[in-house]
Amino acid sequence: MLNRLTTPHELPGKLFVVEGIDGSGKTTQLALLAKWLSAAGHSVVLTEWNSSALVKAATKTGKKKNALTPMTFSLLHATDFADRLLYNIIPPLKAGMIVLADRYAYTAFARDTARGVDRKWVRELYSFAVKPDMAVYFRVPIEVSTERLLARRVKLKFYEAGMDMGWSSNVVESFRLFQGKVLDEYDRLVDEFGLSVVNATGSITEQQRTFRKLVSQHLEIKDDHEYTDDLG
Amino acid sequence: MTTSTPTTSVEEPGGSGPRAGSYYGNPIPYLPIDSYPGKIIALEGTDGVGRSTQIHLLREWLEVQGYGVVETGWTRSELMQPTIELAKSSNTLNKLTFQLLYATDFADRLEKEIIPALKAGFVVLSDRYIYTAMARAGVRGVDRTWIRNLYGFAIVPHLIFYLRIDEKTLIRRVLQSRGMDFWESGMDLKLGDDIYESFRAYQRSLLKEYASMADEYNFRILDARRKVEVIQEELRRQISAFLAESDAGSPAAT
């Protein structure tokens, strides 16, 4: 049995992952981290959940027609993930670069299970994934995330709000219900996969400080301005 | 196998594993299936064994007898067909994404076509089933446990016919019909630059993979080198016997 997700990888690069529900601020935090790492001279590659060209057409068709079931939703995301893993994640890791992933397999574990997919099945599905050097979970209460999204006038999307589950015809209410279940699943994952938890209700700067401290434990350099390679 | 599912461990006479009409592995939690009246009959086999011809004839025959028939076929889902075609032509697939696209297609058809048809009491004629994916995965060295877990959500067919031919016949039939294409020649496996040699090696390993699954999944093996009518007759004989037996168990038998 493959169990790469629970076995440390031996590639020279580093893989750092951020997780959290929509409105947790993880994307902001990851962007700030990337700035810091680049400024310190690291080669950084970013990869985003559900962004491969391969499944874009199917996801789009499926979403437009609201034709995705929890299973096909899960499998399409796994296909996207496999494609990015093999083209965008593993090669930079082999090249000794730092890969920053905005969401990872844990997103599937949390969301797909909240949608009613079998918990064990989805874990086995992603057993080909590379274990991150660190996965940081930005934990935020549902009220805070909803408030943030609504304040930014983000239009809550059909699937992100779990509207496909038919729990509520009110999109905000549906979002709360669905993301509440996603949060419960994330809480399980913290122990199961050893996610590092950051309190995402604090200020952006404060969170970033904590985040950088966590990441620097996994890097050779502790100082912002130290370079590892000679220019010779 | 690491998955054991005590809920579906009713033994089929002469076979092992889960009962026909139930899930192979853990059920899809939101889709419990409970002794639905429909039946799944799968026709498996490599290219060139005449699956679609046989299915066409079976459909006619079953409908004349009053059975409702639904057909389903590999990569034919509304959701995935365009993507699979596109991915194949752009050549960016690797063995994992290839398998995952197949599985998505299968899941879509299972939920949208197969399960509703079973519920409504149709006979589902399936042109290829999950064993096609498993054979192709096997040839490409995809982890066996992973692929079996992946298809744990598939429903065990009531009958699986494996239309078997030998390597020589297979090669001739494919070359005669539509010729070799990149994927059917296993060119992604980079067995060599010679497309014919690659094709031959690929089809040979496919046949080996099918053979290795015959016991595991209770295939009924038919010699597909015989005439269409002869094969059809044998299919009908076996299907008749099966349907008579299951109709006898239901009060609606006519």
Q: What is the pLDDT of residues B126-146, one digit of tens each?
A: 999 999 999 999 999 999 999
Q: Do B111 and A116 touch (CB under 8 A)?
A: no
pLDDT at B13 over 60: no
Across the range A216-229, mean pLDDT stands at: 65
Sorting pLDDT into bands at 50, 70 and 90, what band is A209? Answer: very high
Listed residue (B128, B111, B125) closest to A164, CA to CA: B111
Residues in chain A whose Cβ is within 8 Å of chain B:
1-2, 54-55, 57-58, 61-62, 67-72, 75-76, 78-79, 82-83, 86-87, 116-118, 120-121, 124-125, 127-128
The hierarchical CATH code for the domain B18-166+218-244 is 3.40.50.300
Give the nearest chain B residue to A80 (CA atoms): B97
Check residue B68 and give its pLDDT. 98
The minimal CB distance from B143 to the residues A2, A62, A78 is found for A2
Check residue B230 and give its pLDDT. 98
Query: Please, are residues B4 and B25 in contact by the beta-carbon 8 Å criterion?
Result: no
Tens-place pLDDT, residues B155-186: 999 999 999 999 999 888 888 877 777 777 77
Residue B25 near chain A (CB below 8 Å): yes
Residue B181 near chain A (CB below 8 Å): no
How far are the Cα atoms of B41, B59, B180 from residue B252, in angstroms, in the given order?
20, 21, 48
Average pLDDT, chain A: 91
Token duo for residue A213: 């401290």
Check residue B47 and give its pLDDT. 86
What ipTM was predicted for this assembly? 0.87
Q: How many Cβ atoms are within 10 Å of B96's Cβ, its own excluded?
A: 21
Sorting pLDDT into bands at 50, 70 and 90, what band is A52? Answer: confident
Share of chain A above pLDDT 70, in %: 94
Write down the number of H helices and E strands in chain B: 9, 5
Check residue B8 and give its pLDDT. 40
pTM of the entire predicted model: 0.88
Sorting pLDDT into bands at 50, 70 and 90, what band is B118? Answer: very high
Sorting pLDDT into bands at 50, 70 and 90, what band is B148? Answer: very high
Give the nearest chain B residue to A125 (CA atoms): B150
Second CATH level (architecture) for the domain A4-213: 3-Layer(aba) Sandwich (3.40)
Q: Do A2 and B82 touch (CB under 8 A)?
A: no
Check residue B252 and give its pLDDT. 52
Check residue B5 and give its pLDDT. 41
- DSSP 3-state of A98: strand
φ/ψ (deg, to 5) at A159: -80, -35
For CA atoms A125, A131, A132, A135, the dihedral sign is: positive
Which residues from A are below 8 Å from B108, CB to CB?
69, 72
Chain A interface, best mutation among B104, B109, B140, B145, by max A CB count within 10 A = B104
CA A141 to chain centre: 17
pLDDT at A109 over 70: yes
Query: Please, are residues B104 and A75 in contact by the beta-carbon 8 Å criterion?
Result: yes
Chain B interface, best mutation among A6, A54, A115, A181, by max B CB count within 10 A = A54
Interface of B with A in 92-151 (CB under 8 A): 92-94, 96-97, 100-101, 103-104, 107-108, 110-112, 143, 145-146, 149-150
Cα A81 from Cα A51, distance rounded (Å): 9
How far are the Cα atoms of A192, B168, B217, B221 from residue B148, in angstroms, in the given order?
24, 30, 12, 21
Complete edge-to-edge strand list for the sheet that includes strand B123-127: B69-73, B123-127, B39-44, B159-164, B220-223
Q: Do B97 and A82 touch (CB under 8 A)?
A: yes
Q: How far is A1 from chain B (nearest CA, A)?
A: 6
A134-139 and A196-199: which strand pairing?
Answer: parallel
Q: Identify which has the larger pLDDT, A110 or A55.
A: A110
Sorting pLDDT into bands at 50, 70 and 90, what band is B99? Answer: very high
Share of chain B above pLDDT 90, in %: 64
Which residues from A are below 8 Å from B152, CB to CB?
121
The minimal CB distance from B26 to the residues A57, A76, A118 is found for A118
Cα B158 from Cα B245, distance rounded (Å): 12
Check residue A230 and give its pLDDT. 58
Q: Do B103 and A120 touch (CB under 8 A)?
A: no
Check residue B182 and give its pLDDT. 72
Which residues from A are below 8 Å from B113, CB to CB?
none
Q: How far is B120 from chain A (nearest CA, A)?
A: 20
b/e sequence B193-219, b meaning 16+ C-beta within 10 Å: eeeeebbbbbbbbbbebbeebbeebbb
Sorting pLDDT into bands at 50, 70 and 90, what band is A101? Answer: very high
For CA atoms B131, B135, B140, B141, the dihedral sign is: positive
Check residue B4 and give its pLDDT. 42
DSSP code of residue A4: G
For CA atoms A69, A72, A74, A76, the dihedral sign is: negative
Check residue A228 and give its pLDDT. 54
Cα B95 from Cα A148, distance rounded (Å): 41
Listed residue (B173, B87, B41) closest to A82, CA to CA: B87
pLDDT at A222 over 50: no
Listed residue (A81, A79, A96, A78) closest to A15, CA to CA: A96
pLDDT at A223 over 60: no
pLDDT at B195 over 70: yes
Q: Do B146 and A128 touch (CB under 8 A)?
A: yes
For B85, residues 6+ apart whose C-beta sits below 8 A from its C-beta are: none
Which residues from B are below 8 Å from A70, CB to CB?
30
Q: Chains A and B: how many Cβ contacts under 8 Å?
A: 89
The minimal CB distance from A124 to the residues B94, B112, B146 is found for B146
Sorting pLDDT into bands at 50, 70 and 90, what band is A197? Answer: very high
Residue B1 near chain A (CB below 8 Å): no
Residue B89 near chain A (CB below 8 Å): no
The minimal CB distance from A118 to the residues B29, B83, B110 is found for B29
pLDDT at A85 over 60: yes
Using the structure block, give the residue that is written with the tokens 């574990």. Answer: A109
Listed residue (B235, B224, B174) closest to B45, CA to CA: B224
Cα A82 from Cα B207, distance rounded (Å): 28
Check residue A221 and give its pLDDT. 54
Query: Please, are residues A145 and A176 in contact by the beta-carbon 8 Å criterion?
Result: no
pLDDT at B240 over 80: yes
Q: How many Cβ atoms are within 10 Å of A35's Cβ, its own excluded?
A: 12
A215-224, B16-25, B153-162 — most confident range:
B153-162
Cα A39 from Cα A74, distance rounded (Å): 37
Lowest mean per-residue pLDDT among A73-82, B113-122, B189-198: B189-198
Q: Do A75 and B107 touch (CB under 8 A)?
A: yes
Q: How far is A36 from chain B (nearest CA, A)?
A: 34
Sorting pLDDT into bands at 50, 70 and 90, what band is A44? Answer: very high
pLDDT at A67 over 50: yes
